[in-house]
Structure 1
Amino acid sequence: MKFSYKFSNLLGTVYREGDLLFTPDGNSVISPVGNRISIFDLRSNKATTLPIESKYSYNALDISPNGCTLIAINEQGDAHMISLISQTIVHKYRFKRKAPGPFTGEYNAFIMEKVFHAAYDETTCVDWSSDSKVIAVGSKDMTVKLYPLDKWSNFKIYSLGSHTDSIVSCFFEKNSLDLISISKNGQMCVWESSMETNDFKQIEAPPSKKQKSAEDLDEDDIDVSKVPERTEEELAAALKDVRVEDNAVEEDKLYYKRIARHYLGDAPRKDDRKAILTAASYHKTTKVLVTGFSSGAFFIHEMPDCNLIHSLSISEQEITSICLNSTADWIALGCSGFGQLLVWEWQSETYVLKQQGHSNNMTCVAYSIDGQLLATGGDDGKVKLWNIHSGFCFVTFQEHTNAVTGIAFSGTKKFAVSASLDGTVRCFDVLRYRNFKTLTTPRPVQLTCVAVDTSGEFVAAGGQDVFEIFLWSVKLGRLLEILSGHEGPVAGLAFSPTPASTTLASVSWDKTLKIWDAIEKGSAHETIELLSDGLCVAFNPNGQEVAVGTLDSQITVFNVRTAQQMANIEGRNDLGSGRSDTDLITAKQTLKAKSFTTLCYTADGNCILAGGQSKNVCIYNVKEGIILKKFEITQNRSLDAVDDFINRRKMTEYGNVALVEEREILEGGHVTIKLPGVRKGDMASRSFKPEVRVFSLQFSPTGQAWAAATTEGLLVYSLTPGLMFDPWNLQMGITPTSVREAISNRDHTNALMMAMKLNDANLIQEVMENVPFKDVELTISTLGEQYVERLLTILANSLDTSRHLEYYLHWTQHVLTYHGPRIKAQQNMPALISLQKSLTRKYDQLSKICDFNKYTLQYLVRQGALMAKDDKTEAMTYDEEDVSEGEQPVYEMQYESD
């Protein structure tokens, strides 16, 4: 099995905080998601996350006019120059350190031009003039200051006041120095400039003494004996000329005049008096201004008259970022409170994009049987379904009234079930998007886990405050059995993946693992004693083994039939420590209390994926009991417990500085400490800084990817075929040249086997497409059994990428015809599931196109019939008129000739 899994996408979280951006073509939105950056393509309806990661969360973004370079700055002031073509960080720069240069011997991609020190408080916004000669900077000191990039004789630094609150945004007009400034209390001022940048005058260098004229000589350079005497009248006339010249210089200087003042905050304050303006964006070409408020409302005004065009309220949380695309048709809005990202087309009043992640922690995740869908549940009581290929959430169920603790797909992919602390298990139809069954217990019980059998007929859930397992029938919607026997909260449930098997494994805090067959034997069960409290359980895909994670950081594997221990894995040292800012003990001591809280077998059943109370996800070999690879899910130090050691700068003789409350003036009591004992994301806490954790793990049935529900969101890791040479069963003499020689000699079977041993995707595709259509059946029939599974994987990838659909379907048909009995004998083959996934996806894509074409042709045929009927009626009318008048009109002659 391969373990070269790399981060591929981030789901479940679409926006955290910071600036939103449209690409220059206006078709994509760039959103900062924690310490990662996601790009939402609105044309192709696809979301991707860049494979880069910062040590802290990003909060400021900007993109170059050509759309190739992105500048991203995190909370600590580190700037990353990112190439959107190669999707890599080209250069890093720290603003709070001494600039690298020739003296330090370090490369610097940024050259410092100037430093301005005119503001008296923090700067809040920046805008450039159209010719890049002047910078407008807004500040919390309620002023907007203008800085020239070059030295001008008639313009230095200019300050604009007239505001009574901190500045939120300021914007130059296009090809002008006219300015719009907006403050936090909704006050907007329109400023008119007295001149343009073309009127700026360069500062002339003072002439040397050799080049001085007689008029410019200093007093020391003048020979007084040679200066002619002047009368009082001549001196008065000369002084008058000097004053005229000084007035002319004053008239050439830049000054601003406020021509209008508007109060944008009056409209939202009718409903909410505390609403303040939080974000604004201005399109300089169309003169459209969009402003967002803390009440969740936004307004569109036409400038400079400030005419209200449109208004809408999108949520109850404040709007933290607004952006307009190149044509000002689409407005991107971000709400950090809900993690919401919207793209609104204001002219047609429709949503182009409406995505929202879980407002609190994501607690559980499940793959569908074909690996195309992901279902997630969160502490906010919502269940969301995500499309793996597009990266978008396409349906949200909000029927639960408390946190969702477990989720699972049925074996037929027709529905998903979820358990919640509200005491219900709900069944959701994946096709019709509705909650069609609600399963309840005889008395209120907080349910902690849920499982569905392979046939999709039975659902089981375990209780937290009542130590029982409840078994329902999905068809009947009735409670069939209550399984008693545990003496502690039921922590995990799992049905056997073997078809026609209803074996159920449950693990509890009472240090026992129980094997049930409730359908045939009722409450009769087999008990296996554990050395510590059981936390999670997972079945091997072959249905013969079950793995249990316990509180002492061990993973134990048992045989289901004999109850014998097959393997034991010690994972305490692999979890990795992490010290929180508020921890009073070291990370080494904290590690003793950590354990694995979620387990999952790989698709082939040879390895186990484990995660828990740390930032690491480990892959273990079951038979050998050793760790094969460790994945670090995040480097984001904006989260808690990422580092093993606390920064010594935070440590004082009185303790950790992080434990000291820091309240800011007039900021509503913003503090840095969280409530005592809070480990999960509690939005009611004084500071939302959750600890990094892995809540749930799930391996894709195709074996090509796995997903982890973490504090950062839903991380998807997949096998990405790269340029690495990865042969399989390679022998001497097998080279690309020998493969092509076999193709030219029409030895297609030998060429295909050699190409698969080289494992080069392009070479394999070249060999397959050189096989004549009539020889495909013969080539497959002579292929060895060991090549069948690899050929199915290749066909699955080819169906996704190639345009020769019928040709590869012909290959697929003959592979399944000749080798079907052997494939059916294997209970679990990830390659076959991957092929099914590709076929289903291709069918969905083509069915939409075919339906559209079919209905379009029906419409055209119907319109043609109606037009022919109307033409025939007109022709009969004209014939009657010709008979009555005895003349043939010109129109009828033209019609007949046509």
Structure 2
Amino acid sequence: MCSKASRIQFSNLCGTVYQQGNVLFTGDGNSVLSPVGNRVTCFDLVNNSSYTLPIENRKNIAVIALSPDSNILVTVDEDGRALLINFRRRVVLHHFNFKKPVKALQFSPDGKYIAVTHDSHVQVWRTPNHMIREFAPFELHRTYTGHHDEVISIQWSSDSTCFITTSRDMTARLFTLNPLEGFRPKTFAGHKDLVLHAYFSADSKTVYTVSRDGAVFTWRQKSDDDEEGSDDDSSMQVDAPASVGTAIAQTRWGIAERHYFNQPGTKVVCSAFHAPSNLLVVGFSTGVFGLWEMPGFTNLHTLSISQEKITSVAINRSGEWLAFGAQKLGQLLVWEWQSESYVLKQQGHYFDMNTLAYAPDGQSIATGGDDGKVKVWNTNSGFCFVTFSEHTAAVSCVEFAKHGQVLFTASRDGTVRAFDLVRYRNFRTFTSPSPVQFTALAVDPSGEVVAAGSTDSFEIFLWSVQTGKLLDVLAAHEGPVSALAFSPTGNELASASWDKSVRIWHPFNRTRIVEPFQLTADALSLSFRPDGKELACSTLDGQIWFWDVAEGRQTNIIEGRKDISGGRKAGDRVAAANNSSTKAFNSIAYTADGRCLLGGGNSKHVVLYDVRGGVMLQKYEISQSLSLDGTLEFLDSRKENDEMVDDRGDASDLEDRLDTALPGVGRGDLSKRRYRREARTTCVRFAPTGRAWAAASSEGLLIYSLDETVAFDPFDIDIELTPQAVLATLARREHLKALIMAFRLGERALIRRAYEAVPPSEVALVARQVPHAYLPQLVRLVGEHLERGPHAEFALRWANATLIAHGRYLRDRAGEFASVFRALHKGLLDFQTSVAKLCDENSSTLDFLLDQLSLKIAKDLGSGEGSDMMD
């Protein structure tokens, strides 16, 4: 593990799904890009997975834009500093500074230009070439003026020859990309509040403007005798317009219709328009969104998705999915409006994340936060699949049982709860005789005993999981219990306290002998080595102590204050290198092999140590965002303000260095009206596999893992595996072998040919023998064949045989195979719908045919009886 420390890199960011800025869909409409702090996360809605780009802006991202071909991503932070990113390769191509905050940024539909708001101006830049290295890739095309206040949004025409902008001056203006003879920018005026967005219709003959007060104006060409409107410029008389953009520029625009949403006591916050279907989506400040079909302004749908305002909305290319971002709740939703169902519904912790724990299989991570919520995240997909809201106060600790799907949580509401992760329910609640706040939790390796430590009574409570009864109360500490840990052998329980001691208990023995280990400062966290022979403890003075549990002697000590120190806050009077008074490890964790130790605390750094040598192996920086306090190494004197001036007069050197911050306050000085969040780590844990570790931080749940993306690993391919070999195998009627060879090559046409060549009588036999590695491809293929293929009964045979033979294996990996299950379910549902529709449409014909058949039978019987009588 220690030799691989340098290869561990940032892998994903969970726990935070949206913070601010605009959300957008990729070009194919299957993924959503969401700004999370100073990073961007991509949510793949088809494959049910997510990943975070390993790229950081200087500050929190305000605007993102993706080129039409999905090759170039531009992210702009709050100060106007932009990153030009190759989205497919996930690398930064160039840094650029727009020098002013950017409100909107749009690629032209042809991808050749980028329009950017620049206060009351608009700048259009030529799109840099992502295939060529350029010294100055950003080339300014033109700067457009005319607005009297800040520009809010930009919308291009379909042919990229002109664009329309909206501003806080309550107007919209139409500009052309290149100068046209006799053209002056058109002004759309008449709104009584700032205009949020303006949109072109599909034929570019209509313009819609949406204002904050809930008004939608429809603009069309004015007739010669129509004096109403806001166009104060003369029109040009040209017989044959050269393009759509020229026709738009030559049109004398006037207000044709006025519509109002009539939502009392609310404001329009965001909107989006899908031109092919004339669908207008509007988000309001009350958490309500609505869908209107233009130009008739027909309300199709209205729904309340939260109690807070909807910050951003986007529509995918097909117009089926709507993405919503709510800044205050940190919520991201994808809604399929035709079926009225959620495609994606994710929300992070409302406040800070306090603790985390890995499941024994390493596939899930549980987190607890100040909002009283407990969330369980899938490490492969990055999605939260269950949220428990039973706690009424901050969750301080979470732990998984070593055996079985059980999660234990401790909270400051005075309860310890046990959750069943199979039925997703709280099946046991443990309480103390008198109400206390629990801040530490430990679970016996057998899963039969749970222990919790309190801050009020300084006691440790032990309960039986089976009965829920209180077994014992351990009292010896003289200060709040900060950490608990059961030995992996299950015989000892270690407790750390603010009374500067660590105690080893033997709760299952009759003896009450307690071995205290004295420290020089308050103990903060504990961790047993995986073999149970060594115990590590971090203290408030930045040290990490090590003891041999069997002999009860100290074996090592690491001075980590200088290692974890780093990052200077705005109010600090000393340099970051010397400011280590408040730096300590709040959480420590051993690696799976026990050779290394990971520690994190009130700093932007997480440190990895070699235990035997006591040396630092690696230092990880959790965030480079300047929006967080404590990330700068040196303060910028050009940005000093009155708050940073030392006005303490004749204070002595000792008084000047005293830390006056309130203990336990992690989100800043609450006496100020505004405060900045601090860069810090509240909990670190290693995965049971030893190949990854996670940290609960100010940015969310950070996951670091061994970087294996650059390795090329062809899956069972050899030089003799060719399309000709697959066809030859099919000719020999070796259907299973041919299907597996086709899966290995990955060519769709070849896979379909091998799949359809299997005789229906042999489908069950072949499906039973398909290896587990190829099951996802097979299930997805069956789903696609059901949806598009002509052989419905053949596909149903495959689906039935596959689920009968491998149903248990697929069920146990439901999270991993969620995307293929969704494809199969969609195919089956479409087939059922089409059959039901076909039967309903032809029910009368079937009834008629049956009646005719019965009449014919009756007639034949009658004629037969008559002939017998004549004979």
1:703 corresponds to: 690
What amino acid does structure 1 have at the position aligned with 2:27? P
2:408 corresponds to: 417
Q: CA deviation at 1:520?
A: 1.8
Q: Structure 2 length as normaliser, TM-score?
A: 0.75
Q: Summarize deviations over 1:390-421 as a string: whole Å, max 9, x none.
A: 11101100000000000000011411011011
Larger mean Cα displacement after TM superposition, 841-850 or 30-39? 841-850
Larger mean Cα displacement after TM superposition, 138-147 or 514-523? 514-523
1:361 corresponds to: 352
Q: Which of 555, 559, 563 is the aligned partner of 2:544?
A: 555
Q: Aligned residues, how many?
A: 708
1:53 corresponds to: 56
What amino acid does structure 2 have at the position aligned with 1:521? R
Whether the 8 Å CA contact 2:591–2:686 is kept in 1: the answer is: yes
**Pair 1:656-2:644 in alignment:** yes
Secondary structure of 2:371's aligned partner: coil
Distance in structure 1 (CA, Å) of the matches to 2:851 and 2:64: 66
Pairing 1:206-245 to 2, within 5 Å after superposition: none
What amino acid does structure 2 have at the position aligned with 1:883? L
Given the superposition, is the C-alpha separation of residues 480 and 685 from structure 1 closer, same or farther in structure 2, using an over 3 Å criterion? Answer: farther
Q: CA deviation at 1:883?
A: 2.9
Distance in structure 2 (CA, Å) of the matches to 1:328 and 1:350: 14
Whether the 8 Å CA contact 1:367–1:699 is kept in 2: the answer is: yes
Distance in structure 1 (CA, Å) of the matches to 2:523 and 2:406: 29
2:862 corresponds to: 884
**Pair 1:510-2:499 in alignment:** yes
Secondary structure of 2:277's aligned partner: coil
Q: Summarize deviations over 1:317-354 as a string: whole Å, max 9, x none.
A: 11000001112111100001010000111111111110
Given the superposition, is the C-alpha separation of residues 69 and 573 from structure 1 closer, same or farther in structure 2, using an over 3 Å criterion? Answer: same
Q: CA deviation at 1:886?
A: 2.2
2:470 corresponds to: 479
Given the superposition, is the C-alpha separation of residues 845 and 332 from structure 1 closer, same or farther in structure 2, using an over 3 Å criterion? Answer: closer
Q: CA deviation at 1:677?
A: 9.3
Q: CA deviation at 1:175?
A: 3.5
Given the superposition, is the C-alpha separation of residues 493 and 201 from structure 1 closer, same or farther in structure 2, using an over 3 Å criterion? Answer: farther
Q: Which of 568, 571, 577 is the aligned partner of 1:579?
A: 568
Q: Which of 433, 439, 449 is the aligned partner of 2:430?
A: 439
Distance in structure 2 (CA, Å) of the matches to 1:539 and 1:148: 68
Whether the 8 Å CA contact 2:46–2:819 is kept in 1: the answer is: no
**Pair 1:720-2:723 in alignment:** no
1:809 corresponds to: none
Q: CA deviation at 1:839?
A: 12
**Pair 1:184-2:212 in alignment:** yes
Larger mean Cα displacement after TM superposition, 404-413 or 172-181? 172-181
2:738 corresponds to: none
Q: CA deviation at 1:532?
A: 1.1
Q: Summarize deviations over 1:612-655 as a string: whole Å, max 9, x none.
A: 01111111011100001111111111111110222111225x55
Task: List runs of 5+ in structure 2 lacking aligned partners.
Answer: 101-122, 128-132, 224-230, 239-247, 648-660, 720-740, 745-770, 779-808, 836-846, 867-871
2:801 corresponds to: none
1:610 corresponds to: 599
Whether the 8 Å CA contact 2:585–2:601 is kept in 1: the answer is: yes
1:774 corresponds to: none
Given the superposition, is the C-alpha separation of residues 715 and 440 from structure 1 closer, same or farther in structure 2, using an over 3 Å criterion? Answer: same
Secondary structure of 1:328's aligned partner: coil
Whether the 8 Å CA contact 1:148–1:156 is kept in 2: the answer is: no
Whether the 8 Å CA contact 1:368–1:413 is kept in 2: the answer is: no
1:662 corresponds to: none
Q: Which of 252, 255, 273 is the aligned partner of 1:255?
A: 252
Distance in structure 2 (CA, Å) of the matches to 1:55 and 1:692: 14
Q: Which of 125, 147, 167 is the aligned partner of 2:153?
A: 125
Whether the 8 Å CA contact 2:776–2:820 is kept in 1: the answer is: no
Distance in structure 2 (CA, Å) of the matches to 1:635 and 1:165: 38
Q: CA deviation at 1:676?
A: 12
Distance in structure 1 (CA, Å) of the matches to 2:692 and 2:285: 40
Pairing 1:472-871 to 2, within 5 Å after superposition: 472-498=463-489, 501-521=490-510, 523-651=512-640, 654=642, 656=644, 679-680=666-667, 686-687=673-674, 689-723=676-710, 841=813, 845=817
What amino acid does structure 1 have at the position aligned with 2:81? D
Whether the 8 Å CA contact 2:152–2:165 is kept in 1: the answer is: yes
Distance in structure 2 (CA, Å) of the matches to 1:535 and 1:675: 17
Q: CA deviation at 1:848?
A: 9.2
What amino acid does structure 1 have at the position aligned with 2:550? R
Given the superposition, is the C-alpha separation of residues 145 and 804 from structure 1 closer, same or farther in structure 2, using an over 3 Å criterion? Answer: closer
Whether the 8 Å CA contact 2:126–2:141 is kept in 1: the answer is: no
Secondary structure of 2:682's aligned partner: strand
Larger mean Cα displacement after TM superposition, 281-290 or 178-187? 178-187
What amino acid does structure 2 have at the position aligned with 1:643? L
Distance in structure 1 (CA, Å) of the matches to 2:694 and 2:328: 25
Q: CA deviation at 1:373?
A: 0.7
Q: Summarize deviations over 1:207-264 as a string: whole Å, max 9, x none.
A: xxxxxxxxxxxxxxxxxxxxxxxxxxxxxxxxxxxxxxxxxxxx99643211112222
Distance in structure 2 (CA, Å) of the matches to 1:382 and 1:149: 51
Distance in structure 1 (CA, Å) of the matches to 2:342 and 2:860: 58
Given the superposition, is the C-alpha separation of residues 877 and 468 from structure 1 closer, same or farther in structure 2, using an over 3 Å criterion? Answer: farther
Distance in structure 2 (CA, Å) of the matches to 1:334 and 1:447: 34
Whether the 8 Å CA contact 2:562–2:577 is kept in 1: the answer is: no
1:303 corresponds to: 294
Whether the 8 Å CA contact 1:535–1:597 is kept in 2: the answer is: yes
Percent identity for Structure 1 against Structure 2: 42
Whether the 8 Å CA contact 2:126–2:140 is kept in 1: the answer is: no
**Pair 1:157-2:154 in alignment:** no
Distance in structure 2 (CA, Å) of the matches to 1:107 and 1:589: 39
What amino acid does structure 1 have at the position aligned with 2:318? T
Secondary structure of 2:453's aligned partner: strand
Secondary structure of 2:141's aligned partner: coil
Distance in structure 2 (CA, Å) of the matches to 1:567 and 1:122: 61
Secondary structure of 1:462's aligned partner: strand
Given the superposition, is the C-alpha separation of residues 450 and 257 from structure 1 closer, same or farther in structure 2, using an over 3 Å criterion? Answer: same
Distance in structure 1 (CA, Å) of the matches to 2:253 and 2:820: 59
What amino acid does structure 1 have at the position aligned with 2:158? S
Distance in structure 2 (CA, Å) of the matches to 1:162 and 1:557: 74
Q: CA deviation at 1:851?
A: 14
Q: CA deviation at 1:589?
A: 4.7
What amino acid does structure 2 have at the position aligned with 1:55? R
Given the superposition, is the C-alpha separation of residues 308 and 314 from structure 1 closer, same or farther in structure 2, using an over 3 Å criterion? Answer: same
Distance in structure 2 (CA, Å) of the matches to 1:17 and 1:850: 30
2:95 corresponds to: 92
What amino acid does structure 2 have at the position aligned with 1:511? K
Distance in structure 2 (CA, Å) of the matches to 1:193 and 1:294: 33
**Pair 1:134-2:137 in alignment:** no
Whether the 8 Å CA contact 1:152–1:201 is kept in 2: the answer is: no
Distance in structure 2 (CA, Å) of the matches to 1:540 and 1:356: 35
What amino acid does structure 2 have at the position aligned with 1:12? G
Secondary structure of 1:259's aligned partner: strand
Task: List runs of 5+ in structure 1 lacking aligned partners.
Answer: 203-250, 660-673, 727-739, 742-765, 770-798, 807-836, 864-869, 889-898
Given the superposition, is the C-alpha separation of residues 482 and 415 from structure 1 closer, same or farther in structure 2, using an over 3 Å criterion? Answer: same
Secondary structure of 1:884's aligned partner: helix
Q: CA deviation at 1:135?
A: 1.9
Q: CA RMSD in A?
A: 3.9
Distance in structure 1 (CA, Å) of the matches to 2:671 and 2:221: 48
Distance in structure 1 (CA, Å) of the matches to 2:195 and 2:671: 29
Distance in structure 2 (CA, Å) of the matches to 1:843 and 1:169: 40
Whether the 8 Å CA contact 1:484–1:523 is kept in 2: the answer is: no
Given the superposition, is the C-alpha separation of residues 578 and 455 from structure 1 closer, same or farther in structure 2, using an over 3 Å criterion? Answer: same
Secondary structure of 1:51's aligned partner: coil
Q: Structure 1 length as normaliser, TM-score?
A: 0.73
Whether the 8 Å CA contact 1:613–1:693 is kept in 2: the answer is: yes
Given the superposition, is the C-alpha separation of residues 308 and 842 from structure 1 closer, same or farther in structure 2, using an over 3 Å criterion? Answer: closer
Given the superposition, is the C-alpha separation of residues 327 and 804 from structure 1 closer, same or farther in structure 2, using an over 3 Å criterion? Answer: closer
**Pair 1:278-2:269 in alignment:** yes
Distance in structure 2 (CA, Å) of the matches to 1:394 and 1:725: 32
Given the superposition, is the C-alpha separation of residues 877 and 396 from structure 1 closer, same or farther in structure 2, using an over 3 Å criterion? Answer: farther
1:323 corresponds to: 314
